[in-house]
Homo-oligomer: A and B are copies of this chain.
Amino acid sequence: MAVLVVGSTAFDTVETPYGAREDCLGGSSTYFGLAAALFTEVRLVSVVGEDFPESSRKLLADRGMRLEGLEVQPGKTFRWSGKYSADMNSRETLDVQLNTFGDFRPVIPASFRETPYLFLANSSPVTQLSVLEQIQRPTFAVADTMDLWINTEREALDRLLSVVDGLILNDEEVKMLTGETNLIRAGRRIIELGPKLAIVKKGEHGAFLFSNHFQYALPAYPSDSVVDPTGAGDSFAGGFMGFLAECDSVSLWNMKRAVAYGTVTASLTVEGFGVESLVAANREAVERRFKDLMQFVSV
């Protein structure tokens, strides 16, 4: 089955302890899409400016992404610039130019409206709800969110939570959203707010999965060469959703394996600057890492 992603496309300028890069292709939908495309057909809905080069478009298409929903608007593509701390556990945003992404009102092409798997990358919950209204009953819809929307658009976010199947967020965000300081209680509370599934990303410490029926924890892939954490979360979501869409099953067994595949695609991303390692990977590399990861965590 195919997976539809609605999110940003950007050019990122990053500095980490391992080096710096200017204007790397990035954005939530790019990282998600390239990770998910390792598993299945990805349908992209995003916006870029007139400066978006043919080479970037070709890169996405060559990896198996369908681009009918990639709008080109007058002006420039979204740009972000940031610098990571020495341990890479925090980052400072140096510059944000929303450009064409600032007025993004996603329109889902008719050919995409029956896509069964849907990922609403981080954006205003109002925008995320507008996408859901355009989609014909997806099998499995998952949303990402962030502190900004928790603090400023709580009402719309609560409405979103009542209609999506799953929510992906990080450990700080889940505590903020639920007011719980204990991560286990916080994860369970999300389920009371609506979603059947909550995934809490903990970066180098792995991920938790919560549902009514079970809890699951998986450590991060034991990477000894993290050079740029940008896009790790969206790459995780891409591996997770891509694998579920490929299997077309959201069984308990598949959910857990999907967390592992998300962990693998995130690990590929952080081992290179921007999308370079993710683009260089293939399904075989994913399977090798999946096996390594299973060995790393098996008792």
A206–B219 Cα gap in the complex (Å)? Answer: 9
Size of interface on A: residues with Cβ below 8 Å to B: 34
CB-based nearest B residue for A207:
B219
Query: A218 at interface (Cβ–Cβ under 8 A)?
Result: yes
Check if A299 sits within 8 Å of B182, measured CB to CB. Answer: no
Stretch at the interface among A102-110, A222-230, A279-287: A222-230
For A186, give the chain B residue with the smallest CB separation: B224
Which residues of chain B have C-beta atoms less than 8 A from A181's C-beta?
A: 17, 86-88
A158 to chain B, nearest CB (A): 23
A59 touches B (CB below 8 Å): no
Contacts of A299 in B (CB 8 A): 218, 256-257, 260, 294, 297
Residues of chain B lying within 8 A (CB to CB) of residue A224: 182, 184-185, 188
How many subunits of this chain does the assembly comprise? 2
Given A205-B206, A206-B205, answer yes or no on A215-B296 (Cβ-Cβ < 8 Å).
yes
What 1/0 mask marks residues of chain A from 229 to 251 whose CB sits below 8 Å from any chain B CB?
00000000000000000000000
A156 within 8 A of B: no
| A225 CB contact (under 8 Å) in B17, B182, B257 | B182
Q: With the chains together, A208 CA to B297 CA distance in Å?
A: 10
Q: Is the Cβ of A184 less than 8 Å from the Cβ of B256?
A: no
Q: Knowing A217-B222, A219-B218 touch, does A183 contact B204 (C-beta < 8 A)?
A: yes
Nearest residue (CB) in B for A292 is B215
CB-based nearest B residue for A225: B182
A residues 164-183 touching B (CB-CB < 8 Å)? 181-183
Q: Provide the residues of chain B in CB contact with A222, threshold 8 Å.
A: 184, 208, 215, 217
> A202 at interface (Cβ–Cβ under 8 A)?
yes
For the complex, give the distance between the alpha carbons of A181 and B225 in Å: 10
A218 surroundings in chain B (CB, below 8 A): 219, 297, 299
- Cβ distance A87 to chain B, nearest Cβ, rounded Å: 6
- Complex alpha-carbon distance, A202 and B220, angstroms: 13
Q: Which residue of B lies closest to A210 (CB)?
A: B222
Docked CA distance A260–B217 (Å): 14
- A222 (CB) vs chain B CBs: closest residue: B184
In the assembled complex, which residues on chain B have CB atoms less than 8 Å from the CB atom of A182?
A: 223-226
Q: Are A297 and B216 in contact (CB under 8 A)?
A: yes
